[in-house]
A and B are shown apart, each in its own frame.
Chain A
């Protein structure tokens, strides 16, 4: 039902219906924002990007053919925008940011205390994954995308999606082990 409604909204947006755009934005902007934020790791950039994402949807609604779910199409656009923004940033800036994050987490007394909580440690390790691994984990677990949909959004074969998910989870296990949580897998 949600998919049908989204498609109906896109059809109206293609006709220049501003209200339909408001509804679509209200319905999806938080999830799109979170997807982008997890990739670019900067709130201001993520906010700028979601207005660009939805502007693209406004402009390209007439070209949407309904071959995939609207949310899949939307996340594909969001991903492209996020990666373009990341390319504009210096690689070393990203590395520094990443290092600071991990270091901060390790030095934070509250974090040290929270290490007793497996869930907290797991979330910290999810944050510590590479962008590629974070992306596939988020798409599968948070955005509820099937193997086929992840393949479409990321632009890789379905077999690669499964392999990438496996390695993302394997890396997660390694990070957990470094923090004293042994999962016995893989």
Chain B
């Protein structure tokens, strides 16, 4: 960093950290060092403002890049389906074991314990749903103008899964009916689920919705555009 060689080594080092400080990815200790330096050094503070401008415009630039089409997801799962089947392994980590434990509980067992039911719902929300909450959170980077990531090709339904449905129940339901979640949850806990790779006549889609709605995993289902 030649341009800063004639400056105090500590200032040069702190200046090198400014981009990470702007992004909020420094350790607490380093962040405090930077904060202290910024408070006593107006020129450093001015340069920090430059880093913050760069941060804002880099986010802006990336957010205007849009999102991939449904083709990417379709290509991926076509390749996955072509892969040799894998045995469902028992997870060795705590999260996996906990998930397996909850997955093996029957709805009746869950009904015995309010806390267990709450955990099951939390697990379902956490494992299946929080990606959308993260992506659409007001504090996130998604802009109102960014294209939706929801693929537009195919026939779709909106499903809210039954609260007592376990992770495994939902997994089996999706696999058995060759369904894939493409977006969600939207407010109300609804997921957009693709039921066919191409558009279907209204009556045919209605029949599918009726059939799927009979599964105990489904709490609510309607057709979607």
A interface residue numbers (CB < 8 A to B): 2, 4-5, 7-9, 11-12, 14-23, 25-30, 33-34, 37-38, 43, 46-48, 50-51, 54-55, 58-59, 62, 66, 118-119, 122-123, 126-127, 137-138, 140-142, 144-147, 162-163, 165-166, 169-170, 172, 183-186
Contacts and interface: CB of A to CB of B under 8 A. Distances in A.
B96 A11 contact: yes
Most buried by A among B50, B149, B181: B50
Contact of A172 (B54, B62, B65, B134): B54
B35 interface: no
A186 B3 contact: yes
A127 B24 CA distance: 23
A55 B79 contact: yes
A185 B47 CA distance: 7
A19 B182 CA distance: 11
A12 B99 contact: yes
A12 B96 contact: yes
Contacts of A51: 72-73, 75-76, 79
Interface string B63-81: 0010111011101110110
B68 A29 contact: yes
A119 B60 contact: yes
A5 B130 contact: yes
A123 B61 contact: yes
B54 A169 contact: yes
B1 interface: yes
Interface stretch (B83-91, B111-119, B204-212): B83-91
The secondary structure that dominates the A interface is helix
B93 A11 contact: yes
A18 B22 CA distance: 37
A26 B54 CA distance: 28
> For B71, B96, B181, which residue has the most chain A Cβ atoms within 10 angstroms?
B96
Q: In the complex, which of the residues A4, A28, A146 has the most CB atoms of chain B within 10 Å of its own CB atom?
A: A146
A30 B135 contact: yes
A141 B183 CA distance: 26
A32 B60 CA distance: 16
A51 B79 CA distance: 9
B63 to A, nearest CB: 8
Interface of B: 1, 3-4, 16-17, 19-20, 22-26, 46-47, 50-51, 53-62, 65, 67-69, 71-73, 75-77, 79-80, 83, 85-93, 95-96, 99, 126-128, 130-132, 134-135, 141, 149, 167, 170-171, 174-175, 180-183
B73 A29 contact: yes
A123 B22 CA distance: 17
A81 B86 CA distance: 25
A62 to B, nearest CB: 8
A138 B62 contact: yes
22 contacts: A2-B134, A11-B91, A12-B91, A14-B91, A22-B180, A29-B149, A30-B135, A46-B68, A50-B68, A51-B79, A55-B80, A126-B58, A140-B23, A140-B25, A141-B59, A144-B25, A146-B26, A165-B16, A169-B51, A170-B3, A184-B46, A186-B4
Given A15-B87, A19-B171, A122-B54, 6 more contacts: A9-B127, A21-B77, A27-B135, A29-B67, A30-B68, A33-B67
Nearest to A2: B134
B3 A19 contact: no
A26 B132 contact: yes
A127 B20 CA distance: 20
B95 A17 contact: no
A141 B68 contact: no
A7 B134 CA distance: 16
